Amino acid sequence: MTVYVDYWHFDENYIASWASMSVANPVEIHQATFELALDRRDETKYVLSERAGYEWFSLVYPSHVAKVKETLQAYVNNEKVFSVVNSYCNGLLTFDEWNSRIKADIEWIDRYGNAWISTGPFMLTKLDKDAQVLELTAFRDPTYPFKPGDWYFGIPVPATIKSVKIESPLAGKVVPGSDASIRIDVAGLPPLHVKYILRDAAGNIIAFAEAEKIGDYSFSIELPASLTAEFTPGAKYALQLIAYSDVVAMPDIKKEIFETATTAEIVSLQRAAFEKALEGVSARVGSLEQAVHSASARIGTIESKVAEQTERLTSVEAQLSSLQTMLYVVLALSIIALLLAVLLLLRKPKPT
């Protein structure tokens, strides 16, 4: 059997429980209901939903119950109706059981005045809709294996969403085109989880995922700039959150509405960012100017030292030139002296 329901939940187990089916009333009561409120509704004026000019069918209204009893009486030994109903039961119902069930239903109606026959720990034994009185009688099966308290395991600790905080350039708002982070703090028995759905004002789903776990009780939803760039300035967005635990089947569901920054706020943020960037550039220019002045001063010092060294080198060169001249003079005098000595030796008279 495949069941389709118009229902959604973060936890698929809850969807399954919502779609679970159970027979609330005996199959022959269902058959009588369908006949009276569907097949013969133009005759009975009974329907199973609101409709102008018709009555909403009930198994407890006296006039409706009388019709149910009348219909059940017509089902006794009715093989045609039995064949239809038994097809719903996969052929498991016998004809004798069919008649016995109808007999029991009629006895119930005669005894309690209603056709609400079901299962559970209580029976509807009295109903006076005019006096607004309803009486339930406890049904206690002595063969039931459990006693009060067998299924009590203490007060559960449900998962709870404690706080939701948006972290972005503009406090409490998401700025279109900028990164944003949503911090969720929860309480409960770990391991805990958080899932979310983000919708726009029209109800369209923008994002659906599990929040990033950053601690045992802390989660984060990251909205990148590529996503927020599609957001409409000055619009409202709905963030649906569910926090749940692996050990306690009691989730906490919370809906947060947040706004995006308006166009004026975005322009103001951009202006502030530009001014801040300009201040940074100005500071860097000032720092560069100081560096240039310092470098210029150092260059001047270096030039002064170079000039001083140049003067010293010129002085040394002059001294060297003077020494060279004196050396040449001394050398010339030495040569002259040597020549004179040679001449004197040549002119010396020879001995006789």
Residue among 143, 164, 300 at smallest CA distance from 243 = 164
Domains of the chain by start residue, with CATH: 12-138 (no CATH), 160-261 (2.60.40.10)
**Preceding amide of 191 cis, omega within 30:** yes
Residue among 185, 178, 145 at smallest CA distance from 266 = 178
Phi, psi dihedral angles at 73 (to 5 degrees): -60, -35
Tens-of-pLDDT digits for all 352 residues of the chain?
688 888 887 667 778 877 777 768 999 999 999 999 999 999 999 999 888 999 999 999 999 999 999 999 999 999 999 999 999 889 999 999 999 999 999 999 999 999 999 988 899 999 888 888 999 999 888 898 888 889 888 888 999 999 999 999 898 899 999 999 999 999 999 999 999 999 998 999 999 999 999 999 999 999 999 999 999 999 999 999 999 999 887 899 999 999 999 999 988 888 887 788 788 777 787 788 888 788 778 887 887 887 888 888 788 777 877 777 887 777 888 788 788 777 777 766 655 5
The three-state (H, E, C) secondary structure of 5-60, written as one string: CCCCCCCHHHHHHHCCCCCCCCHHHHHHHHHHHHHCHHHHCEECCCCCCCEECCCC
